[in-house]
Structure 1
């Protein structure tokens, strides 16, 4: 079997994604036969601090909008993608995104496919309206994401001028909790948690983190019988960094988000969140 040839541009691409050194990136790509996901995992196992900003380097343009129902119990986020920032800043494009969000809030579909199949106006579906705009604007337009959330109280936050949006659900409705919900939503936008709590993290992610933790400890020369305990310690750190309720609150890192929410009301609970961003 011939050796996979790794190009300089591929090495640079991996370096841009991970922030690792050029030689480390080249070795990782060779070891993983050019598979970028496997190369990233290889770097992590070797103890490299890999940047989590993978999506940022290929960020598409577009508009992300969030809407909340009048009674504050339902929220939706839609993302309409475009190729250029020029299109994304066009008032008609922003208005179209708002219209799609209004339709989503009105019918509250379970999936993006259901939203695309919904009626837009004058006999057109949402999907057909998107296709029409491709012809009008002359570049690729895509209704790329749709998320919904329902709770006794839903709070929204639009981040960075329509480039990201967050919904946060709370178990109790009170005007005094709007600021709490908004602060939690801002936390999600800034720190990009992958799940609400430990139990919500996908089992495959946990398995991979434990394996990476063991390999890191093994490479540091730790005894084999201690690898499991060390890996579980690293997993707890992973939870604190990547699950919303266990993250340190960005406005006061002496407490986590769960504690911050309880400081407003001992019975207040975050029931869920949704985060959609360009990229």
Structure 2
């Protein structure tokens, strides 16, 4: 039997909102596997608060930038070991500088080879690791290209999002920012239902069926009811189908079309979260 620590139980409690004893039992049952423990809690009918919580976290700064004609966006995370370093002005400036450089390349490997004040980005990271005494590294690197790209950085540089629109219509900057804020706040698993992995869908169906069995629903009804629950899952967890946070009567897709025209849609987004 895996030994479950109080710290692990507390971590699961913070990520799910479930009770301490329920969390401990789930971790024991899953033999310490965090993701399986969340599944166990959900199958037992627990209302898990953060299904997709960014559990593997590190300190640093997540920065999103867009080029001058808003056709390419980049997000990088500059990672460090402590929040104290992450809040330092010179660290944040360096993160912003690296993000601007990222607009000119398409891979993290290419970014690391670029010149930064006479040294490569990689050499600068090694230098700063020595100066600060903490491991400093580029964590995430993401880019998007589209007719229009918008961005948003949440306060404290802990969450950054870039969003692609199919057309550079008047008002696109504000709408793309609103959609990016939506993604930052609601953490969707995908753009739309087509972007959800089949493995995730199958798992959600399994969880829904287990919940229904515990409610006493007949076995022959489970498949039909579970499919309805999956449609609700798509509505709650895919960006364009979510209720728009500023007007819950509209989906995100409907808001975009209302503001920019029926031929404009969100085509992609990238989200990075730290801390």
| Structure-2-length-normalised TM-score | 0.93
What SS does the aligned partner of 1:225 have? helix
Kept in 1, the 8 Å contact 2:57–2:274? The answer is: yes
Q: 2:27 aligns with which of 29, 45, 51?
A: 29
On the 8 A contact 1:168/1:185 being kept in 2, the answer is yes
- Structure 1 residue 55 displacement after superposition: 4.5
Report the counterpart of residue 275 of structure 1 in structure 2. Answer: 271
Match of 2:42 among 37, 44, 55: 44
2:52·2:187 contact (CA, 8 Å) conserved in 1? no
Structure 1 residues 200 and 57, CA, compared in 2 at 3 Å: closer, same or farther?
A: closer
Give yes or no for contact 2:73–2:151 (8 Å, CA) kept in 1.
yes
Pair 1:251 & 2:249 matched: no
- Please show how residues 56-67 of structure 1 align to structure 2 within 5 Å: 59-67=57-65
User: Taking structure 1 as reference, are residues 16 and 54 closer, same or farther at Cα in structure 2, changes over 3 Å only?
Assistant: farther
Distance across 2 between alignment mates of 1:256 and 1:174: 19
Q: Which moved more, 1:37-46 or 1:7-16?
A: 7-16
Aligned partner of residue 79 in structure 1, secondary structure? strand
Structure 1: give runs of 5+ residues left out of the alignment: none
The Cα of 1:82 is off from its aligned counterpart by 1.7
Correspondence 1:150 to 2:145? yes
1:253 alignment partner, SS class: strand
Aligned residue for 1:173, secondary structure, equals: coil
Q: Provide the residue aligned with 2:8 in structure 1.
A: 10
State the distance in 2 between where 1:197 and 1:191 align: 14
Matched residues, number: 274
Q: CA deviation at 1:7?
A: 3.6
Asked if the contact 2:54/2:273 (under 8 Å) is kept, the reply is no
| 1:54 shift after superposition | 6.4
Tell me by how many angstroms 1:93 deviates: 0.9
Q: What residue ranges of structure 2 are gaps of 5+ in the alignment?
A: none
| Matched residue, 1:73 | 71
What's 2:109 paired with? 113
- Kindly state the Cα deviation for residue 5 of structure 1 after the two structures are TM-superposed: 3.8
- Give the equivalent residue in structure 1 for 2:93: 95
Partner of 1:133: 128
* Residues 177, 4 of structure 1: alpha-carbon distance in 2 compared, 3 angstrom cutoff: closer
Q: Distance in 2 between matches of 1:70 and 1:170?
A: 16
The answer on whether the counterparts of 1:18 and 1:54 sit within 8 Å (CA) in structure 2 is no
Shift in Å at residue 56 of structure 1? 5.8
Query: Cα RMSD between the aligned structures?
Result: 1.9
Offset, 1:115: 2.6
CA distance in structure 2 between the aligned counterparts of 1:161 and 1:9, rounded to whole angstroms: 26
Aligned partner of 1:177 among 172, 177, 181: 172
2:234 aligned with 1:236:
no
Asked whether the equivalents of residues 67 and 73 of structure 2 are also in contact (C-alpha less than 8 Å), the reply is yes
Q: Is the 8 A contact 1:16 1:57 kept in 2?
A: no
Displacement, 1:84?
2.1
